[in-house]
């Protein structure tokens, strides 16, 4: 099956700083999402981005499908951005199941 690696595994930021999270896939995917898992365990959808670039406020994401990676940018980080960020991807055939990445734990300090 597809292997998904995320980097860095842990990240500590000063409030206001910018960061880039990366997601690498072992094989091509055409179904890719980014999530933020809050301290209560809820997964919040950030982006559905099988290719191209999208922006939503201080967050943006870029997927380069041909090179099998995706990036999540967080600008002007806030303490509420703390949590674990996951990417998940798969192929849009069959039941479109996805494989989750290893996660990046982000802590934003005041």
Partner 1 sequence: GAVVSQHPSRVICKSGTSVKIECRSLDFQATTMFWYRQFPKQSLMLMATSNEGSKATYEQGVEKDKFLINHASLTLSTLTVTSAHPEDSSFYICSARPIPGTSGGSYEQYFGPGTRLTVT
Instruction: Provide the binding-site residues for partner 1, judged by CB under 8 A.
Output: 31, 33, 35, 40-43, 45, 48, 86, 88, 92, 95-103
Cα Rg of the chain, angstroms: 13
Token readout for 21 is 């999270």
The least distance separating partner 1 from the CB of residue 15, rounded to whole angstroms, comes to 24
Q: Which is nearer to partner 1, 68 or 105 (CB)?
A: 105
The least distance separating partner 1 from the CB of residue 97, rounded to whole angstroms, comes to 6
29 closest CA partner among 1, 57, 56, 50: 50
The least distance separating partner 1 from the CB of residue 77, rounded to whole angstroms, comes to 22
Q: Which is nearer to partner 1, 19 or 103 (CB)?
A: 103
Q: Which is nearer to partner 1, 71 or 91 (CB)?
A: 91
- The H or E element spanning position 28 is none
Token readout for 40 is 């209560």
Q: Is 46 helix (H, G, I), strand (E, B) or coil?
A: strand
């Amino acid at each position: 099956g597809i292997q998904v690696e995320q980097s860095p595994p842990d990240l500590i930021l000063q409030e206001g700083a910018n960061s880039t999270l990366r997601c690498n896939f072992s094989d091509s995917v055409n179904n890719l999402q980014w999530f933020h898992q809050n301290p209560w365990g809820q997964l919040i959808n950030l982006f559905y981005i099988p290719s191209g670039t999208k922006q939503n406020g201080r967050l943006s994401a870029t997927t380069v499908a041909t090179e099998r990676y995706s990036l999540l940018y967080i600008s002007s980080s806030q303490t509420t951005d703390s949590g674990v960020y996951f990417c998940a991807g798969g192929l849009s055939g069959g039941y479109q199941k996805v494989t989750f990445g290893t996660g990046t734990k982000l802590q934003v300090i005041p």
